């Protein structure tokens, strides 16, 4: 390496400043919402005159939030698990075989990435009405499965690409049946990809809002829908307190995923040399 | 022995999901071609009237505004996201890199409502920015940030930034460093290396990121609804109003179809723009 000139060093510091400013922009809402959540008064003011935890207690007590949380868990558990199974199986056949309609099915299943969520929501709302489904959990879950499937597909597909098939060939040559190879070799090797796919699907489903607004009813409304209704009606910091809990839980899950699964690898952004 | 074990049983569930989704989209298309019967949830006979109504100035205006907001957001996201993606790929320190990654990725999973609410607190008349500026004595009257296109775009950039950064970082991380080293050894300065080597090589990632940012902004609902407050309207807000305030589902469906056609056109144009860059840097 040649010694760095003053000019290059200045460029480096300039770059650091720009990146710090951008990070501040990314973090600003989280910081501000945290300050607002601990404000004792019901009306927004900066800086707060007195501090309190009472909005956290109110957020945890508010019936619509509790019910939304409960409904959200039901929808998320079903949707992410179904999406994981459907997505993992299909990623497997995409990776291994070519067959008619492969590209067509894959294209349809990844298309929700670019189709607006309000269109997906309206579609499932109309479809449910047409086939006579009541607006229960089934239609919400079906809608969420479709919305999170592209992420599961990608996550499992990337792991399958990185999988060394010689382990499977070794097992097969020793006489293991295809099912046994799948269950005892492929599945364990795929576990990190499956876990990260399921985790992403669960987080996305739990936070999904626009399509949920269309397909949920008063009885099945998920937490984001309950929060949206709250923001429209009330201005007190309960919502800020709930947001803080949300942000902390999500950041913890992401940090966990990063520590145990290597987010850089899942997102395919490791520097290649 | 079966040469392709599990093919049928593994494809069937995915095919079923695909079929269900196609049916839902077909339902939207079908409704868009039906007449609206006021006071009834069931649509009337087949008609093209909904699409003719789209040309009314009121709706045409919302379409133009939506495209404008999407374009503005996508460009702003790119300008803010590029340095961040570059830093994410180049930082060598593992802990710093992990921290940066968590900060960048977390907003992606927060959901629109929490993020939008946070921005309301930042941008409001009694919000953080106005309180700060008043506290510093820089202003007497609050600056109007809520209910403006500027406020909506700022909040939307926050939404689209993570996904653009991830896509761009993926593209940047796969650029062969030898190209940059070669340019350096031939005497090019860092800015010249960036402009003539790194930037062109990252163009596929730039276009993929901008495309996704555009599509996601198009999909945004809570942000224009709550921060725009009725004064900044996007197609999503109109679809919801038509559906749940006036129960005019046929026209809401027509708006969805037109919106989708618009998205597909823009995506096709951007993909065409990506063509010249596809083979750069291929080995």
Cβ distance B111 to A182 less than 8 Å, yes or no, reads no
What is the rounded CA–CA span in Å between residue A228 and residue A209?
9
Range with lowest mean pLDDT among A122-126, A148-152, B73-77, B195-199:
B195-199
Q: Nearest-CA distance from B218 to chain A in Å?
A: 7
The residue behind tokens 């499965």 is: A145
Token pair belonging to A211? 């399509």
CATH class given for the domain over B47-277: mainly alpha
Report CB contact under 8 Å: A93, B120: no
Say if B252 is an interface residue toward chain A (CB within 8 Å): yes
Count of residues in chain B: 283
Please tell me the predicted confidence (pLDDT) of residue B72. 95
3-state secondary structure of A263: helix
Q: Do A130 and B27 touch (CB under 8 A)?
A: yes
B252 contacts in chain A (CB < 8 Å): 122
Q: In this prediction, what percent of chain A has a pLDDT beyond 90?
A: 43
User: Using CB atoms within 10 A of its CB, is residue B38 exposed (0-12), middle (13-18) or buried (19+)?
Assistant: exposed
A263 or A83: whose pLDDT is higher? A83
The CATH label, of 1.10.3720.10, 1.10.1060.10, 3.30.450.40, 1.20.1070.10, for the domain at A62-266 is 1.10.3720.10
Residue among A156, A152, A148 at smallest CA distance from A96: A156
CA distance B188 to B181: 10
Residue A273: the pLDDT is 41
Q: Is A47 or B169 the better-scoring residue by pLDDT?
A: B169
pTM: 0.89
Quick one: pLDDT at residue B77? 95
Q: What is the mean pLDDT of residues A131-143?
A: 89
The tokens for A240 are: 């800020």
- What is the arithmetic mean of pLDDT over A62-70? 93
Contact A209 B113 (CB under 8 A): yes
Tokens (6 digits) for A163: 């999988």
Res B229: pLDDT = 84
Compare all CA atoms of chain B with the CA of A232 and give the residue at the minimum distance: B226
| pLDDT for residue B199 | 83
A80-97 core/surface letters (b: 16 or more CB in 10 A; e: else): bebbbbbbbbbbbbbeee
Distance from CA of A194 to the nearest CA of B (A): 16
**Taking the domains of chain A in order of start, what are their residue ranges?**
62-266
Between CA A56 and CA A61 the distance in angstroms is 9
Residue pLDDT, tens place only, A154-209? 889 988 988 888 888 999 999 888 889 888 889 998 988 898 889 889 988 999 99
Please report, for chain B, the start and end positions of each structural domain, with discontinuous segments joined by +.
47-277
Do B25 and A123 count as a contact with CB atoms less than 8 A apart? yes
Contact B118 A29 (CB under 8 A): yes
B29 touches chain A (CB under 8 A): no
Q: How far is A43 from chain B (nearest CA, A)?
A: 9
- Comparing CB atoms, the residue among A97, A108, A124 nearest residue B4 is A97
In chain A, what residues touch B11 (CB-CB under 8 Å)? 89-90, 93, 99, 105
- Smallest CA–CA separation between A82 and chain B, in Å? 10
Instruction: Looking at the complex, report in whole angstroms how far the Cα of residue A6 sits from the nearest Cα belonging to chain B.
Output: 13
**Chain B interface disruption, residue of A15, A46, A198, most B CBs within 10 A:** A46
Q: Which residue of A has its CA nearest to B257?
A: A119
Residue B46 touches chain A, beta carbons under 8 Å: no
CA dihedral B194, B200, B202, B207 (to 10 degrees): 130
From chain B, the residues in CB contact with A7 under 8 A are 189
At A146, the pLDDT band (50, 70, 90 cuts) reads: very high
CA atoms of B47 and A174, how far apart (whole Å): 65
Mean pLDDT of successive 10-residue segments in chain B (283 residues)? 76 94 95 85 82 88 92 94 90 84 82 89 88 87 88 92 89 81 81 81 86 89 90 90 88 93 87 74 53
Task: Tell me the shortest Cα–Cα distance from A89 to chain B, in angstroms.
Answer: 5
Per-residue HEC secondary structure of chain B comes to CCCCCCHHHHHHHHHHHHHHHHHHHHHHHHHHCECCCCCCCCCCCECCHHHHHCCCHHHHHHHHHHHHHHHHHHHHHHHHHHHHHHHHHHCCCHHHHHHHHHHHHHHHHCCHHHHHHHHHHHHCCCCHHHHHHHHCCCCCCCCCCCCCHHHHHHHHHHHHHHHHHHHHHHHHHCCCHHHHHHHHHCCCCHHHHHHHHHHHHHHHHHHHHHHHHHHHHHHCCHHHHHHHCCCCCCHHHHHHHHHHCCCCHHHHHHHHHHHHHHHHHHHHHHHHHHHHHCCCCCC
ipTM above 0.90, yes or no: no
B101 touches chain A (CB under 8 A): yes
Q: Write the pLDDT tens digit of every residue in A208-267.
A: 999 999 999 888 999 999 999 999 888 888 899 999 998 898 888 888 877 777 766 666
Q: Is B117 within 8 Å of A116 when comparing Cβ atoms?
A: no
CA–CA dist A252, A264 (Å, integer): 16
CB B134 within 8 A of CB A2: no
- Cβ-Cβ contacts under 8 Å for A95 (sequence gap 6 or more): A157, A160, A161
CB-based contact B105 A263, cutoff 8 Å: yes
Tell me if B118 and A130 make a contact (CB, 8 A cut-off): no
User: Is B103 in contact with A23 (Cβ distance < 8 A)?
Assistant: yes
Nearest to B160, CA basis, from B118, B117, B207, B104: B104
- What is the Cα–Cα distance from A146 to B23, expressed in whole angstroms? 12
* Stated length of chain A: 273
Tell me A3's DSSP state. Answer: P
Residue range A120-139: average pLDDT? 90
Sign of CA dihedral B106, B219, B121, A56: negative
Minimum-distance CB partner of A146 among B7, B17, B98: B17
Q: Mean pLDDT, chain A, as a whole number?
A: 87
Q: Which residues pair with A39 in a beta bridge?
A: A51
**What is d(CA B6, CA B120) in angstroms, rounded to the nearest whole number?**
51
Q: Would you state the pLDDT for residue B143?
A: 85
Do the Cβ atoms of B267 and B215 come closer than 8 Å? yes
SS3 label, residue A51: strand
CA distance A103 to B14: 12
Residue A167 to residue A185: CA distance in whole angstroms: 7
Q: Which of A104, A116, A269 lies nearest to residue B173, judging by beta carbons?
A: A269
pLDDT of residue B282: 54
Question: What average pLDDT does range A54-58 have in this prediction?
Answer: 88
């Amino acid at each position: 390496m040649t010694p760095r000139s003053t000019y290059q060093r200045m460029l480096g510091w300039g770059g650091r400043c720009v990146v710090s400013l951008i990070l501040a922009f990314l973090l600003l809402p989280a910081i501000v919402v945290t300050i607002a959540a601990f404000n004792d008064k019901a009306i927004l003011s900066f800086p707060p005159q007195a501090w309190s935890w009472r909005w956290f207690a109110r957020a945890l007590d508010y019936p619509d939030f509790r019910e939304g949380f409960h409904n959200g868990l039901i929808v998320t558990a079903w949707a992410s698990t179904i999406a994981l199974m459907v997505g993992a199986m299909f990623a497997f056949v995409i990776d291994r075989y070519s067959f008619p309609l492969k590209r067509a099915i894959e294209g349809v299943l990844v298309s929700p990435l670019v189709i607006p969520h309000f269109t997906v929501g309206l579609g499932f709302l109309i479809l449910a009405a047409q086939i006579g489904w009541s607006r229960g959990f089934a239609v919400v879950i079906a809608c969420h499965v479709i919305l999170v499937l592209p992420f599961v597909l990608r996550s499992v597909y990337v792991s399958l690409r990185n999988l060394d098939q010689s382990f499977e060939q070794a097992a097969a040559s020793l006489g293991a049946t295809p099912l046994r190879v799948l269950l005892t070799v492929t599945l364990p090797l795929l576990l990190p990809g499956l876990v990260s796919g399921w985790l992403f699907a669960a987080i996305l489903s739990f936070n999904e809002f626009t399509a949920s607004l269309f397909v949920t009813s008063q009885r099945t409304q998920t937490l984001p829908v309950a929060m949206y209704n709250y923001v429209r009606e009330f201005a007190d910091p309960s919502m800020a307190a709930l947001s803080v809990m949300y942000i902390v839980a999500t950041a913890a899950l992401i940090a966990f995923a990063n520590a145990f699964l290597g987010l850089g690898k899942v997102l395919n952004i490791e520097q290649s040399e | 022995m079966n040469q392709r074990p599990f093919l049928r049983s593994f494809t069937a569930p995915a095919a079923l999901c695909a079929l269900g989704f196609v049916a839902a989209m077909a339902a939207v298309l079908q409704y868009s071609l039906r007449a609206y019967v006021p006071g009834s949830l069931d649509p009337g006979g087949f008609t093209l009237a909904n699409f003719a109504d789209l040309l009314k100035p009121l709706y045409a205006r919302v379409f133009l505004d939506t495209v404008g907001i999407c374009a503005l957001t996508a460009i702003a996201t790119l300008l803010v996201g590029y340095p961040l993606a570059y830093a994410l790929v180049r930082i060598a320190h593992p802990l710093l890199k992990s921290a940066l990654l968590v900060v960048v990725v977390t907003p992606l999973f927060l959901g629109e409502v929490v993020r939008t609410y946070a921005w309301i607190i930042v941008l409001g008349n009694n919000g953080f920015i106005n309180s700060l500026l008043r506290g510093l004595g820089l202003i007497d009257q609050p600056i109007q940030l809520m209910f403006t296109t500027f406020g909506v775009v700022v909040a939307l950039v926050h939404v689209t930034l993570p996904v653009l950064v991830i896509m761009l970082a993926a593209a940047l991380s796969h650029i062969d460093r030898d190209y940059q080293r070669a340019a350096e050894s031939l005497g090019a300065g860092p800015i010249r290396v960036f402009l003539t080597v790194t930037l062109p090589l990252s163009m596929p990632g730039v276009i993929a990121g901008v495309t996704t940012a555009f599509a996601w902004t198009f999909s945004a609902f809570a942000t224009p609804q709550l921060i725009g407050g009725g004064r900044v309207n996007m197609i999503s807000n109109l679809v919801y109003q038509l559906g749940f305030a006036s129960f005019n589902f046929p026209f809401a469906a027509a708006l969805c179809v037109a919106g989708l056609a618009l998205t597909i056109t823009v995506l096709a144009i951007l993909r065409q723009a990506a063509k010249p860059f596809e083979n750069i840097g291929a080995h």
